[in-house]
Structure 1
Amino acid sequence: MANERILLVDDEPSILKLMSTILKPEGYLLDTASNGKEALEKLQIQKADLVFLDIHMPKMDGIEALKSLKLMQEAPAVIIMTGLADRELLEKAFLEGGVFDYILKPAGAEEILRAAREALFKRSVSIHREKTKRLLDESFQRLEAGYDARTRKLRESQITYRSLIDNFPEGLIVLQDETIKLANKKILEWRGGGELLEGKPFSVLMHQNDSIPLPEGKGTEGLDFEREGHFRFVRSDGGYFWAKASLQATSWLDHPAILAVVRDVSAQMEAQDLFRMVTEHSRVGIFIQQERRFIFVNPMFAEYVGMGMDELREKNPLDLVHPDDREMVRLNAIEMLKGRRCTSTAFRALTGSGEIHWILQSVVPIEFKGKRAVLGSLVDINEQKMAEDLLQSMHSELEQLVASISSIIICISHDDRITRINEAAEETLGFSRKELIGCRIKQCGIRWDKKRVMEGISRCRETHAVVRVDDIPFVRPNGKEGLLGLTLNPSTGGSTGSGPVIILGADITDRKAMEGQLMQALKLESIGQLAAGIAHEINTPIQYVGDNLHFLESAFSDLVKLVHAHEDLSEALRSGDSADLPDGILRSLEKVRDCEAEVDLSFLAQEVPPAIRQGLEGVERVAKIVASMKMLSHPGFMERSAFDIKEAIESAVTVCRNEWKYVAELTCEFDPELKAVHGFPGEFNQVILNLVVNAAHAIAPKVTGNEKGLIRITTRKDGDWAEIAIADTGGGVPENIRSKIFDPFFTTKEVGKGTGQGLAIAHSVITEKHGGRIWFESETGKGTVFRIRIPVNPPSKETVADAEANPLR
Structure 2
Amino acid sequence: MGQAGPVKNILLVDDDPDVRELLMHILRSEPSYRLFMAENAEQAREQLSGHSMHLVLSDIQMPGESGIDLSRFIKRDYPQTGIVLVTVISDPESAKAALDIGLYGYILKPFDRQQVLITVDNALRRQAFEMREAESRRRLEREVFEKTSHLKQVTYEVGKVRSELNVSHTILHEQVLLLQTLLDAIPHPVFYRDLEGFFLGCNDAFAQFIKLEKKQLIGRNLTALASAEIIQTAKQTDAALLQREAKISYDAQIRGADRIDHDVVITKAFYKDAMGQPAGIVGIIMDITERKRSEAALQASEEKIRRLIDNINIGVVLIDPDLKLLEMNRQMNAWFPQTPIERSPRCYEIFHSPARSGPCEFCPTMEAMRSRRCQETTTKLYRPDRWCDFRVVTSPLYDRNGNVAGAIMMLEDITGKLNMERELMQSQKMASIGQLAAGVAHEINNPTGFVSSNLKTLDDYQKDLNRLIEAYQKLRQAVKELPAVSGCADVGRVIGDIESLEDEIDIDYVRNDLKELLAESMEGTERIKRIVEDMKYFAHPGQDKVQDTDINKGLNSTLNIVNNELKYKAVVIKEFGELPIISANPQQLNQVFANILVNAAQAIESRGEIRIKTQHLDDCVQIHISDTGCGIPDHHLQRIFEPFFTTKEVGKGTGLGMNIAYNIIKKHGGDIKVQSQVGQGTQFTIRLPVDQIQDEAHEDA
- 1:627 and 1:502 mapped to 2: Cα distance? 48
Q: Which of structures 1 and 2 has the bigger CA Rg?
A: 2
Give the structure 2 partner of residue 526 of structure 1.
432
Which runs of structure 2 are paired with 1:6-85 in the superposition (5 Å)?
A: none
Which runs of structure 2 are paired with 1:618-629 in the superposition (5 Å)?
A: 618-629=524-535
1:285 and 2:203 aligned: no
Give the structure 2 partner of residue 383 of structure 1.
290
1:339 and 2:247 aligned: no
Which runs of structure 2 are paired with 1:351-362 in the superposition (5 Å)?
A: 351=256, 355-362=260-267
1:364 and 2:269 aligned: yes
Give the structure 2 partner of residue 778 of structure 1.
676
- 1:464 and 1:282 mapped to 2: Cα distance? 40
Q: Name the SS for the 2:549 alignment partner.
A: strand
Match of residue 394, structure 1, among 296, 301, 304: 301
For residue 278 of structure 1, report the CA deviation from its aligned partner.
7.5
- 2:250 and 2:475 mapped to 1: Cα distance? 133
Which runs of structure 2 are paired with 1:119-134 in the superposition (5 Å)?
A: none
Give the structure 1 partner of residue 537 of structure 2.
631
Are the equivalent residues in 1 in contact too, given 2:312–2:331 (CA < 8 A)?
A: yes
For residue 348 of structure 1, report the CA deviation from its aligned partner.
2.8
Match of residue 616, structure 1, among 517, 522, 525: 522
Are the equivalent residues in 2 in contact too, given 1:773–1:788 (CA < 8 A)?
A: yes
| Distance of aligned partners of 1:623 and 1:442 in 2 relative to their CA distance in 1, 3 Å threshold | closer
1:790 and 2:688 aligned: yes
Give the structure 1 partner of residue 636 of structure 2.
737
- 1:493 and 1:730 mapped to 2: Cα distance? 56
Among the aligned pairs, what percent are the same residue? Answer: 28
For residue 680 of structure 1, report the CA deviation from its aligned partner.
0.9
Q: Name the SS for the 2:638 alignment partner.
A: helix
Q: Name the SS for the 1:505 alignment partner.
A: strand
For residue 532 of structure 1, report the CA deviation from its aligned partner.
1.1
Q: Name the SS for the 1:740 alignment partner.
A: coil
Match of residue 384, structure 2, among 470, 473, 477: 477
For residue 677 of structure 1, report the CA deviation from its aligned partner.
1.9
Match of residue 569, structure 2, among 649, 663, 674: 663
Give the structure 1 partner of residue 376 of structure 2.
468
Q: String of CA shifts for 1:667-718, please: whole Å, max 9, x gaps.
A: 32333x425221111111111111111211122x2x0xxxx21112222223
Q: String of CA shifts for 1:325-347, please: whole Å, max 9, x gaps.
A: x99x9997776565332233344
For residue 502 of structure 1, report the CA deviation from its aligned partner.
2.7
Give the structure 2 partner of residue 561 of structure 1.
467
Match of residue 313, structure 1, among 207, 219, 223: 223
Residue 570 of structure 1 aligns with an amino acid whose one-letter code is: R
The alignment covers a number of residue pairs equal to 534
- 1:755 and 1:355 mapped to 2: Cα distance? 68
Q: String of CA shifts for 1:420-446, please: whole Å, max 9, x gaps.
A: 432333333445462464x55567776
Give the structure 1 partner of residue 615 of structure 2.
716
- 1:333 and 1:560 mapped to 2: Cα distance? 134
Q: String of CA shifts for 1:175-234, please: whole Å, max 9, x gaps.
A: xxxxxxxxxxxx999999xxxxxxxxxxxxxxxxxxxxxxxxxxxxxxxxxxxxxxxxxx
Which runs of structure 2 are paired with 1:246-645 in the superposition (5 Å)?
A: 284-287=188-191, 298=202, 300-301=205-206, 303-304=208-209, 313=223, 319-320=229-230, 338-351=243-256, 355-364=260-269, 375-414=282-321, 416-432=323-339, 434-435=341-342, 437=344, 439=345, 451-452=359-360, 455-470=363-378, 472-478=379-385, 480-491=386-397, 500-577=406-483, 588-589=494-495, 592=498, 595-645=501-551
**TM value normalised by structure 2:** 0.65
- 2:501 and 2:268 mapped to 1: Cα distance? 135
Give the structure 1 partner of residue 597 of structure 2.
692
- 1:676 and 1:276 mapped to 2: Cα distance? 82
Residue 666 of structure 2 aligns with an amino acid whose one-letter code is: T
| Distance of aligned partners of 1:331 and 1:656 in 2 relative to their CA distance in 1, 3 Å threshold | farther
- 2:473 and 2:182 mapped to 1: Cα distance? 142
Please, which runs of 5 or more residues in structure 1 have no aligned partner?
1-186, 193-234, 242-263, 801-809
Please, which runs of 5 or more residues in structure 2 have no aligned partner?
1-153
Give the structure 2 partner of residue 761 of structure 1.
660
For residue 786 of structure 1, report the CA deviation from its aligned partner.
1.7
Are the equivalent residues in 2 in contact too, given 1:463–1:497 (CA < 8 A)?
A: no
| Distance of aligned partners of 1:339 and 1:758 in 2 relative to their CA distance in 1, 3 Å threshold | farther
Residue 713 of structure 1 aligns with an amino acid whose one-letter code is: I
Are the equivalent residues in 2 in contact too, given 1:436–1:444 (CA < 8 A)?
A: no
Which runs of structure 2 are paired with 1:141-156 in the superposition (5 Å)?
A: none
Residue 381 of structure 2 aligns with an amino acid whose one-letter code is: F
Q: String of CA shifts for 1:260-281, please: whole Å, max 9, x gaps.
A: xxxx999999988988888789
For residue 619 of structure 1, report the CA deviation from its aligned partner.
0.5
For residue 546 of structure 1, report the CA deviation from its aligned partner.
0.6
Q: String of CA shifts for 1:15-36, please: whole Å, max 9, x gaps.
A: xxxxxxxxxxxxxxxxxxxxxx
| Distance of aligned partners of 1:389 and 1:519 in 2 relative to their CA distance in 1, 3 Å threshold | same
Q: String of CA shifts for 1:39-72, please: whole Å, max 9, x gaps.
A: xxxxxxxxxxxxxxxxxxxxxxxxxxxxxxxxxx
Residue 343 of structure 1 aligns with an amino acid whose one-letter code is: I
For residue 540 of structure 1, report the CA deviation from its aligned partner.
0.9
Are the equivalent residues in 1 in contact too, given 2:194–2:200 (CA < 8 A)?
A: no
For residue 476 of structure 1, report the CA deviation from its aligned partner.
1.7
Q: Return the structure number with greater relative CO, CA threshold 8 A, min gap 6.
A: 2
Give the structure 2 partner of residue 88 of structure 1.
none
Residue 786 of structure 1 aligns with an amino acid whose one-letter code is: F
